[in-house]
Each structure stands twice: as structure tokens, then as C-alpha cells.
Amino acid sequence: DYELCEEWGHLYPVPREDLINLHREHLLHLLEMGDMEKALQLLQRIEDPGVCLAISEQSLDQHPSLAASHFLADYLTAHFYASLTTARRNEIQALYIGSKVLLTLPELSRVNYFHLSSRPLLMLEQLLMNMKVDWVAEAVQTLHQLLAGQEIGFNVGDIDNLLSKYAEKALNFPFTLKEKRS
């Protein structure tokens, strides 16, 4: 049906907003089906860069699945980096990095942290509070690799400060230890 509508749009004038809505729904459908190749082909078929940007951004704002969010954030960064405002660019890069961190977690646990995908530092803090030390180690390693030379509202120093804060709290004993005497 989407392809038929797309052909119709080539034959008859369709309002820009309707065309954007059609392509957005088609793109989200392809992404939810896991067909990234067809999704990329769809985006490449769109001749107007403004329409393509609108479709990609609106699709990302629909909060699709993890794989779809990752794909869209990557696509927007690769193709429309200069067209985005600094705040939007940081938001999209944070979502890209957050989705990469989520992919390091065990598959069954990702759903518990998906709502934090656009806030990787907060996701890291949540993992620390949940005592998921092994997951934190892998997430930190991924963050260090991804943040090399990038500024998205936080940096490697912020990660180190967060880790230091929680390490200090882990060593803070609210009572004094008494010696046992025999």
C-alpha cells in the first residue's frame, strides 16, 4: 500500500505534509519490520533534502524501537549534520550513543533502560544504582570509544566524576566498626 501511495504521489500533486506523513509511516513500518536496507532505499529515493530531513526527524521523534532509533540517529548525523541546530545535534548524538550503550546490555534487560536511551549519563547512573557493575564496565568502555573527540553535552570527565561519586558512596560506612576482643 505504501508503494502504491508513493507511485500515486509521483503521478498527482500531493500536499507536502501528506507526502511527509506517508513517507514517515512507510519508514517507521520498514524499521519496525527490521528491514534497514529498504528503509535506506526509501530515504535515498526522496529527492527533496528538506522532506527527507523532516521525515527522518519526525520518525525519530515517534520514539521507535531501539534498532530504529539507532538507525535514524545515525542517518541524521551522517546526512544532515550541518542542517541541524547545535541542541538538536547534541540530542541526536546522545540518542545514538545511548542506543549503542543499550545494545551492550543483555537483551532482556534493555527494555528497563530504553526510556533513558537519549540520556546515556543518566542510564549509566541508573546501572550504578542498580549495582550492575559488569554492565557498567562494558557501558563505560563503549562510552569512552564513542565520545573520543565528540561533545554532546557531557564528556569522558563527566563519566569519570560519576564513577568516582558512586565509588566514594560505596565506601562510605554510616557506622563505626567495633573491634571484637576475645
Q: What's the pLDDT tens digit per position in 30-64? A: 999 988 999 998 899 888 899 899 999 999 988 88
Asked if 96 and 73 count as a contact pair (C-beta separation under 8 A), the reply is: yes
Asked if 117 and 143 count as a contact pair (C-beta separation under 8 A), the reply is: no
Mean pLDDT of 106-118: 88
Average pLDDT, the chain: 85
| Nearest Cα residue to 112 out of 121, 125, 96, 123 | 123
| Interior angle at CA 132, CA 129 and CA 135, nearest 5 | 125
- DSSP annotation of 152: S
Mean pLDDT of 107-123: 88
Quick: pLDDT tens for 134-181: 898 888 888 888 887 666 777 788 888 888 888 887 777 666 656 666
% of the chain residues with pLDDT over 70:
92
